[in-house]
Amino acid sequence: MSAKRIPGEVDPLDVLAIDSLLSDEELLGRDTVRRFVADKVLPEVGVWFDEGRFPAEMAKEFGALGLLGMHLEGYGCAGVSATQYGLACLELEAGDSGVRSFVSVQGSLAMFPIWAFGSEEQKTTWLPGMAAGELIGCFGLTEPDSGSDPGSMRTTARQDPSGDWILDGTKMWITNGSVADVAVVWARTDPDGPDAGKVRGFVVPTDTAGFSAPEIHRKVSLRASVTSELVLDSVRLPASAVLPEVSGMRGPLSCLNEARFGISFGACGAARACYEAALEYAGQRVQFDRPIASFQLTQRKLVEMMVAVQRGTLVALHVGRMKDLGTLASPQISFAKMDNVRMALEVAREARSVLGANGITTEYPVIRHMNNLESVYTYEGTNEVHTLILGNAITGIPAFG
């Protein structure tokens, strides 16, 4: 894949030779995930999407490969670099955004808070099984009336005199909710209690009485991914269920930063898959006695797509290197998430047009990616929210409320 090319020639799938910026180890990891996706995801994912399901067995395969919580150290996790984690997200999302979502949620949203803010007991109880894919996690922040403004959440956590916590409320749009063994749930504490109304995180085994997670149906996006509601009806948890090391919105927001980082790579994968599908199709489809790739209008589409994918990948790689150096600031993550997902959606739409009528069926990957990317555009901070974060970063004036 990282071919030494004849001087003067370029690889149509990597025109800027971005691969040459990756180490041998990064290439080995990247190529392994690419092969895994080609073997295990691509042959099936169209069917999963059509049927609106994600096979739970895949979790163990992800675990065996070391994809789950791969950027965390210890507790059965591989401890790879942020860049390597990003490259894995890129390859997974070249398969399907839903498949990448599973890995992001498990690693960055469910395992990360336990790893970063959990007690030793919470870590040893949950992380090894989650790394192996034997236990599935989910992350409950969004609520029916609280999306872009998660600080407005209504889910409450009350501590009774015995020290037990009692959780009440509803979470919405929760990836993996119905298949999860454990939910990391964020809830507001009693304003008069010891936490003075701050948001705290709770590790909730999903078999706890009062917890249920009905699946959300009728989605036309991210269909190869389970999305659920979490209903918390007087869910009683021991005092040890709270994540001890964090309070306030910093907790959930730091998890989101981890996941958003992965998405900025992932979006490039979805975009690359659309570009590759369009390039191949345009070379084969003949109209007016010539392959449609020979029309100037089509070439322009292909070139614009290629340039967008390459540019987005460079942005992702750059933030990856900064994250590994420990210098990455959260507006920079917003830059990469906002711009790369927007880019991917535009590439998907352009690719869709190149495929003509074939572009509207799930026989080809393009419209699946296009529909998926609508979710990716909205979750993990909408395009607008990231614009406002950057607006605040460059003007110093918050414009959220």
CB of 77 to another protein, least distance (A): 8
Among another protein, ligand FAD, none, what binds residue 212 when CB lies within 5 to 8 Å by partner kind? Answer: none
The CA-CA-CA angle for residues 156, 222, 171, to 5°, reads 5
Cα separations (Å) of 134 from 63, 88, 128, 131? 8, 20, 9, 8
Nearer to another protein, 5 or 154 (CB): 5
Instruction: Kindly state whether residue 220 participates in binding another protein, applying the rule CB under 8 A.
Output: no
Residue with the two structure tokens 């489809």 = 285
Beta-bridged to residue 14, according to DSSP, are: 11
Nearer to another protein, 25 or 233 (CB): 25
Q: Tell me which of 140, 169, 266, 359 binds ligand FAD, using CB under 6 A.
A: 140
Q: Tell me which of 81, 84, 125, 142 binds ligand FAD, using CB under 6 A.
A: 142
Instruction: Kindly state whether residue 128 participates in binding another protein, applying the rule CB under 8 A.
Output: no
Instruction: Kindly state whether residue 29 participates in binding another protein, applying the rule CB under 8 A.
Output: yes
The angle, 0 to 180 degrees and rounded to 10, between the axes of the packed helices 97-104 and 366-378 is 40
Say if CB 262 and CB 112 are below 8 A apart: no
Residues 62-91 as x/- pattern, contact with another protein by CB under 8 A = --xxxx--x-------xxx---x---x---
d(CA 210, CA 205): 11
* Token pair recorded at residue 236: 């009683």
Instruction: Kindly state whether residue 52 participates in binding ligand FAD, applying the rule CB under 6 A.
Output: no
Phi, psi of 275 (to 5 degrees): -60, -45
CB of 314 to ligand FAD, least distance (A): 26
Interface with ligand FAD by CB under 6 A: which range of 122-130, 141-149, 303-311, 345-353? 141-149
Nearer to another protein, 27 or 253 (CB): 27
DSSP 11: B
Instruction: Kindly state whether residue 23 participates in binding ligand FAD, applying the rule CB under 6 A.
Output: no
Q: Is residue 380 annotated as a catalytic residue, yes or no?
A: yes
Cα separations (Å) of 181 from 56, 75, 130, 242, 320? 12, 18, 9, 17, 31
Q: What is the CA radius of gyration of the chain?
A: 22
Identity (one letter) of the amino acid at 85? Y
Instruction: Kindly state whether residue 389 participates in binding ligand FAD, applying the rule CB under 6 A.
Output: no
The CA-CA-CA angle for residues 320, 324, 80, to 5°, reads 90
* Residue among 61, 120, 380, 384 flagged as catalytic: 380
Sign of CA dihedral 16, 20, 22, 24: positive
d(CA 385, CA 330): 13
Instruction: Kindly state whether residue 211 participates in binding ligand FAD, applying the rule CB under 6 A.
Output: no
Interface with another protein by CB under 8 A: which range of 21-29, 49-57, 196-204, 335-343? 21-29
Comparing CA positions, the residue from 100, 130, 128 lying closest to residue 36 is: 100
Residue with the two structure tokens 């109880």 = 125
Interface with ligand FAD by CB under 6 A: which range of 9-17, 111-119, 347-355, 384-392? 384-392
Interior/surface letters 236-255, b for 16+ CB within 10 angstroms, e for the rest? ebeeebbbeebbeeebbbbb
Instruction: Kindly state whether residue 4 participates in binding another protein, applying the rule CB under 8 A.
Output: yes
Site for ligand FAD in 213-232 (CB under 6 A): 222, 227
d(CA 304, CA 268): 14
Q: Tell me which of 10, 17, 25, 50 binds another protein, using CB under 8 A.
A: 25
CB of 317 to ligand FAD, least distance (A): 25
Instruction: Kindly state whether residue 178 participates in binding ligand FAD, applying the rule CB under 6 A.
Output: no
Among ligand FAD, another protein, none, what binds residue 79 when CB lies within 5 to 8 Å by partner kind? Answer: another protein
Instruction: Kindly state whether residue 196 participates in binding another protein, applying the rule CB under 8 A.
Output: no
d(CA 148, CA 380): 9
Question: Which residues are catalytic, by number?
Answer: 380
- Contact residues for ligand FAD, defined by CB under 6 A: 105, 139-142, 147-148, 173-175, 222, 227, 375, 378-379, 382, 384-385, 388, 400
- Contact residues for another protein, defined by CB under 8 A: 1-4, 6, 24-25, 28-29, 32, 35-36, 64-67, 70, 78-80, 84, 88
